[in-house]
Amino acid sequence: MPLVQQTTSVPVSVDKDKCIAAKGCTVCVDVCPLDVLAINGVDGVAYMRYDECWYCMPCETDCPTGAVTVSIPYLLR
């Protein structure tokens, strides 16, 4: 069967002004148990790449600059 991409919301947001991924930080990406965060190659900021989140919060807790905010995934709210 052919495949398509679909739009979806994600529960984790990153404050661009606070994220220091451009200086080499990868903490949130490293700790996420579901491996759903990544660094955007274009603007050098962390972002949520896959909508597969346990809302467990290591990413937010361990971020050295407080850039990460975890919300409850929409379907659970």
Judged by the rule CB under 6 A, the positions of this chain that interact with ligand SF4 are: 12, 14, 19-21, 25-28, 32-34, 36-37, 46, 53-59, 63-65, 67-68, 70
> Is the CB of residue 70 less than 8 Å from the CB of residue 59?
yes
CA distances from residue 37 to 1, 27, 52, 70 in whole angstroms, order as listed: 29, 10, 10, 12
Site mask for another protein (CB under 8 A), range 9-48, x = bound:
---------------------xxxxxxx------------
Rounded to whole angstroms, the Cα distance separating 25 from 29 reads 9
> CB count, 10 Å around CB of 56?
13
Q: What are phi and psi of 58, to 5 degrees?
A: -55, -35
- Closest separation between CB of residue 1 and ligand SF4, Å? 29
**Residue 2 or 24 with smaller CB distance to ligand SF4:** 24
Please give the residue ranges that form the binding site for another protein (CB under 8 A): 1-3, 30-36, 49-50, 52-58, 61-62, 70-73, 75-77
